Structure 1
Amino acid sequence: MVNAPNLRALSRKLTDTKVKASKPKPDGRPENLTDGGGLYLHVKTGTNGRKPGKFWRYNYRIEGRMKTLSIGVYPTVTLQLARERHDEARALLARGIDPAIYKKELQNANSEADSNTFEAVAREWFIKHLSDKSETHRTRTTSYLERDVFPFIGKRPITEITPRELISVIERISKRITHNTHIRVLGTIGQIFRYAFATGRATLDPTASLKGFFKQEEETQHFPALTTPTEVGRLLRAIDHYPGQFYSICALKLSALVMLRPGELIEAEWAEIDVEAQTWTIEVRRLKAKMSIKRNNDPKRKHIIPLSHQALAIFEELKQHSGGKKYVFQGMPHNHDNPMSRATVNMALRRMGFKGQMTAHGFRGMASTLLNQMRDKDGRRMWDADAIERQLTHQDHNVIRSAYNRADYLDERRDMLQSWADYLDELRATTGQVLTFKTKAV
């Protein structure tokens, strides 16, 4: 049986002045100030030095039981607002609806709505599907969404987002960022919608109707690189005369010698350098690879770089500055626990006037291009293409071939890198065009 309240106008007893001046009882016990119809202000002494708290409550009876509904905290909930909420609760009770249960169901519904916004689903997708990706990939993916997508559709319920809304978002990205970034972001959005569909929070993927809608740039991503002997000689001489920091100059010189990715070089650790064996050994955790492979850190997948005499000489100089530290290339004076910035080499190249012509990653393309072009006096290749690819740590995408071709080519790569270093010395010393290696190193 429901005890329905009398909904005629109540005779209210409290005033704003009385509510504001209300205090607990002199002995510290709570004070209840009745306003009428079961609504009252519960005033109690604060704890741990806090000020006394004032709470609006509504006592009512339903199904023969007394219950209390919390209406809010004063002064956030004013006397007028407390009365309005009290009237709403009384109206619910008159229809046989328990106000406390109704409030809880409404909160749950709002919570569920919040969890089904595009941003909420996307962040859940981050955790489920980006955890095994590289840090660079995770950062790039999340930053694009946080900067270019969430501000516009992040708070929208994922079930209500239309293709027209997505068109506006993607067109905005295409005008600001090049290299088909807008297509990749659209693909990410599609993955999020498909995840929402799989988890029962969406009924369709609106990106499906946009397939082919946006224009793609015809591109093959190549990092700018100097690839002719004359250009390379000019670059090497510029490095020799670069008035930059010591670590920057050493990083530039080593970049030309070892064919590593910028991050692999900049984050070099002294524990990886074996001067006696003349090798630099990088574990797979620092190489470009799937996160599942990195986590296993299979020692068979480590990359051994034979060091030329020129590279060893640079490490000897570096040891005088950072020997005994973890990283070869130290960060700023206040940040020696981290290596210097990965952007250092690119910034140095721009300062030397090679913007748009050469990048830190371009040293790999420079070496690969020239090494593949090298011919002996009889016109035969001087270096096995597989040895060059192994030095670059490129994966063989031919699954069958890669299963059988596990050669390390260490001896040939040692000859190749020493000859390459000698060749760079030759280019540095002449303004003319040097076409080939004269002989392999012995």
Structure 2
Amino acid sequence: MLSDTKVRQAKPQEKVYRIADARGLAIEIRPTGQKIWRYRFRLDGKANMFTIGEYPSVSLSEARKKLEEARELVSKGINPNTAKKTDIASRIEENANTFRVVADDWIQTNTHWSDTYRKQVRKTLEVDIFPCFGDLPIREISSAQVLAMLNGIIKRNAPLVARNARQWAGAVFRHGITTLRCETDPTQPLNGVIKVGKVNHHRPLKPETLPGFLKALYAYKGYGIAKPAAQLMMLTFVRTIEIRRAEWSDIDLENGVWRIPPEKMKMRTEHIVPLSRQSIAILRELQSLTGHHLYVFPNTRRPHEAITSTTINRVIEYMGYKGIVSGHGFRSTASTILHELGYPEKVIELQLAHMERNKVKAAYNHAQHMEERRKMMQDWADYLDQLRTRQ
């Protein structure tokens, strides 16, 4: 039998030669000095040879251990050469399925996402997640690595970003599980590690505050299109992103209708906003200023883009109402008051774009609910005017 010393001291010769150990194992010494462990065996009546590894990377004891593994395969009628190729192919496939690759695949499967949401997910992945383990095989990523990534975000005082990062990383791992590229979701044990304080982003205006707010808004002398953006949002109570991305091609001033296409809506269905006389007046005045642009409210520095997500809230802040109301809070304000004015909940919810289209159809036909909504929107605009002009 071989010893470590004998293997180490074996010298190269002019031709390849082998020194046997036992049970088919031998060390092959080449003229170049390279030493390779070989296992000779017979399978299905044919002689075969299996390469175990190169010395000294594979020691004598390791070679004997691998020999027994190979002999076990042979005893089951499996050629270790075939098994090795399968294992290598499997490892190559595993290494190709990195977290980044699976994440890209996950994003592509979610075709229902809005462009804005897709960009938000992509930004979090590229800024916070990929630098930590994006290029690692997804099945090798541990909870400890995910936690380290989350702690890095938390340290910069961004708990909401950390919460989203955990949520979206978990979705990628679950996609990996369903596509057979990993077995576990390492974000699961981390449920509850991110503490996010309760934040009310959608502060509604209290009834007693509304008249003063309206007077301040209409008296505001700041940034040109920010004021009409806030006014129109108050009158139509659409979402902030919908007012920001409003395009002139979506608006029919002659018929007093604003049609928001599905790709801009949270529910991914077209939303119709009947325009009050007050809304039409604001838009007609704006048309002379921005009518030649794509967006009703273009960005002043980059006119081909829309105003930013903070524009309306910045107006509210300059007016002295920071922490009292937010742009999105106009929706809650309108909902509360319209309920008090006696409008049916289904009509209000439909105008807020809270209801799914099939549920709406079950209750109202198109002509009926449009007539009710148009009346409601005009009543709402008149109500705001009354509050604003009240002495």
Please indicate, yes or no, whether the TM-score normalized by the shorter chain is above 0.5: yes
Aligned: 1:115 with 2:75? no
For the residue of structure 2 that corresponds to 1:149, the secondary structure is helix
Amino acid at match of 1:370: I
- Deviation of the 1:384 alpha carbon: 1.4
CA contact (8 A) 2:298 2:305 kept: yes
Pairwise CA distance, 1:269: 2.3
Q: 1:241-260 alignment to 2 at 5 Å?
A: 241-260=219-238
Residue 114 of structure 2 is matched in structure 1 by 134
CA displacement at 1:264 relative to structure 2: 1.6
**Aligned-pair CA distance for 1:430:** 3.0
Residue pair 2:162, 2:194 contacting (<8 A) in 1 also:
no
Opposite residue 317 of structure 1, the aligned amino acid is E
Correspondences of 1:53-68 after superposition (within 5 Å):
none
SS in 2 for 1:205: coil
Q: What SS class does the counterpart of residue 280 from structure 1 fall into?
A: strand
Q: 1:272 to 1:136 in 2, by over 3 A?
A: closer
Partner SS state of residue 187, structure 2: helix
Q: Which residue does the alignment assign to 1:157? A: 137
Shift in CA distance, 139/339, structure 1 to aligned 2, threshold 3 Å: closer
Q: Does 1:125 align with 2:83?
A: no
Q: What letter is aligned with 1:116? A: N
SS of aligned partner of 2:221: coil
1:343 alignment partner AA: T
* Partner SS, residue 220 of structure 2: coil
Contact 1:227/1:365 (<8 A) preserved: no
Match of 1:389 in 2: 349
Q: Higher helix proportion, which one? A: 2
Pick one of 264, 280, 290 that aligns with 1:312: 280
Q: Is the 8 A contact 1:183 1:214 kept in 2?
A: no
Q: 1:372 aligns with which of 323, 339, 359?
A: 339
Q: CA deviation at 1:200?
A: 3.6
Counterpart position of 1:416: 376
> Cα distance 1:422–1:285, how it changes in 2: closer, same or farther (>3 A)?
same
Give the counterpart letter for 1:139 in structure 2. Answer: K
CA distance in 2, matches of 1:122, 1:342: 26
Q: Aligned partners of 1:262, 1:118: CA distance in 2, in Å? A: 33
Post-superposition shift, 1:314?
0.9
**Please, which runs of 5 or more residues in structure 1 have no aligned partner?**
1-6, 10-86, 98-104, 291-300, 375-380, 432-442
2:209 aligns to what SS in structure 1? helix
> Which residue number in structure 2 is paired with residue 360 of structure 1?
327
Retained in 2: the 8 A contact 1:227–1:370? no
RMSD: 3.9
Q: Aligned partner of 1:118: which letter? A: F
Residue number among 202, 210, 230 corresponding to 1:223 in the alignment: 202
The aligned amino acid for 1:177 is A
Give me the whole-angstrom Cα distance separating, in 2, the residues matched to 1:278 and 1:258: 12
Q: Does the C-alpha gap of structure 1 residues 206 and 226 become closer, same or farther in structure 2, counting only changes over 3 Å?
A: same
Residue 109 of structure 1 deviates from its aligned partner by 8.8
Normalising by structure 1, we get a TM-score of 0.62
Offset of residue 259 of structure 1: 1.2
Verify the 8 A CA contact 1:227 1:369 in the aligned structure 2: no
The match for 1:345 among 312, 337, 349 is 312
Residue 190 (structure 1) aligned with residue 170 (structure 2): yes
Q: Deviations over 1:115-145 (max 9, x none)?
A: 2333333233323x33331223222223223
- Shift of residue 239 of structure 1? 1.5
Q: Which residue of 2 aligns with 1:322?
A: 290
Note the C-alpha offset of 1:359.
2.0
1:235 and 1:147 map into 2 onto residues whose CA distance is 39
Distance 1:88 1:204, change over 3 A: farther
- Distance of 2:298 and 2:390 partners within structure 1: 33
What CA deviation, in whole Å up to 9, does each residue of 1:245-279 have, x standing for no partner?
32112111111111111222222222333333222
Shift of 1:172: 4.2
CA distance in structure 2 between the aligned counterparts of 1:173 and 1:186, rounded to whole angstroms: 11
SS at match of 1:305: strand
Distance 1:93 1:270, change over 3 A: same
Structure-2 change in CA distance of 1:199 and 1:396 (3 Å): closer
Find the counterpart in structure 2 of residue 233 from structure 1.
Answer: 211
How far off is 1:90 after superposition? 8.2
Cα drift, residue 182 of structure 1: 4.0
- 1:405 paired with 2:386, answer no
| Contact 2:159–2:195, Cα closer than 8 Å, also in 1 | no
CA distance in 2, matches of 1:136, 1:346: 19
Report the CA distance between 1:8 and its aligned residue: 6.2
The gaps in structure 2 that reach 5 residues or longer are 1-10, 14-29, 39-48, 52-85
Amino acid of the residue matched to residue 142 of structure 2? Answer: T
Normalising by structure 2, we get a TM-score of: 0.69
Q: Which amino acid aligns with 1:226?
A: L
> Hey, what's the Cα distance between the residues in 1 that align with 2:202 and 2:192?
28
Share of identical aligned residues, percent? 31
SS at match of 1:206: coil
Q: Deviation at 1:94?
A: 11
**C-alpha displacement at 1:369, in angstroms?**
1.6
